[in-house]
């Protein structure tokens, strides 16, 4: 009788990340950068679309103004 030899190769499946995760991180990062850029600039604008109008008047929270009630010099 002939001898039968079986060879079995077991490959471990590597866990791969979901394909949407890098794109989601990229979009969230781009949105965060855009929001920071708008607040650092004094953004003013008007956007007209077929769905309506949008006014973009954002003042920067970072202002370099002198205090209003400064003590007079002697």
Q: What is the pLDDT of residues 12-61, one digit of tens each?
A: 776 666 677 888 999 999 999 988 877 766 667 777 888 888 877 766 66
The model's pTM is 0.39
> Does 74 score more than 70 pLDDT?
no
Asked if the structure places residue 73 within a domain, the reply is no
Asked if the structure places residue 53 within a domain, the reply is yes
- Domain with 45 in it: 21-57
Asked if the structure places residue 41 within a domain, the reply is yes
Asked if the structure places residue 33 within a domain, the reply is yes
Asked if the structure places residue 6 within a domain, the reply is no
Distance CA 25, CA 13 (A): 25
**Can you give the pLDDT at residue 29?**
95
Judge contact between 39 and 61, C-beta under 8 A: yes
Q: Can you read off the two tokens belonging to residue 26?
A: 């990229």
Tell me which of 26 and 10 has the higher pLDDT. 26
Distance CA 22, CA 25 (A): 5
Asked if the structure places residue 2 within a domain, the reply is no
Identify the band that residue 8 occupies on the pLDDT scale cut at 50, 70 and 90: confident
Cα dihedral 42→47→52→57 (10° resolution)? 10
Say how many domains are in the chain.
1
């Amino acid at each position: 009788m002939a001898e039968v030899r079986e060879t079995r190769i077991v490959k471990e499946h590597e866990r791969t990340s979901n394909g949407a995760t890098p794109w989601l991180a990229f979009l969230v990062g781009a949105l965060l950068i855009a929001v920071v850029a708008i607040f650092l600039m004094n953004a003013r604008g008007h956007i007209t679309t077929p769905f309506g109008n949008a006014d973009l008047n954002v003042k920067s929270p970072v202002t370099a103004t002198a205090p209003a009630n400064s003590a007079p010099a002697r």
